[in-house]
């Protein structure tokens, strides 16, 4: 099950579970679409893979399967 991480690893922008612009790679590295497009040019800086839009978990499922609250920011990836 996806963790649904709460923020962009690059700019630390909040990405709630229903964020339409949250992007993930196959390892679930999580970034906002602005960083994916403008900073990383569609290539994950952690693994070199591509990105896809993160699916939205239905609200009724978040009660039993909540999104992660652990923020991940890779300071070496901070967007300029």
pLDDT in tens, 22-39: 999 999 999 999 999 999
Judge whether 1 lies within some domain. yes
Judge whether 68 lies within some domain. no
Q: What is the pLDDT of residue 78?
A: 65
SS3 23: strand
Judge whether 74 lies within some domain. no
Question: What pTM was estimated for this model as a whole?
Answer: 0.89
| Nearest alpha carbon to residue 12 among 27, 26, 28, 32 | 32
Q: What is the pLDDT of residue 69?
A: 96
- The set of residues, in sequence order, having a beta carbon less than 8 Å from that of 50 and lying 6+ positions away, is 25, 42, 43, 44
Q: What is the pLDDT of residue 75?
A: 78
Q: Domain tally for the chain?
A: 1
Q: Sign of the C-alpha dihedral, residues 3, 50, 34, 11?
A: positive
Domain containing residue 25: 1-14+21-54
* 79 vs 41 pLDDT, higher one: 41
Judge whether 47 lies within some domain. yes
What pLDDT digit, counting tens, does each position of 36-58 carry? 999 999 999 999 999 999 999 99
């Amino acid at each position: 099950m996806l963790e649904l991480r709460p923020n962009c690893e690059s700019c630390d922008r909040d990405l709630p579970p229903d964020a339409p612009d949250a992007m993930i790679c196959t390892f679930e590295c999580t970034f906002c679409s602005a960083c994916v497009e403008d900073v990383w040019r569609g290539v994950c800086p952690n693994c070199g893979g591509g990105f896809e839009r993160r699916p939205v978990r239905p609200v009724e499922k978040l009660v039993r399967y909540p999104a992660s609250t652990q923020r991940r920011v890779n300071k070496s990836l901070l967007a300029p």
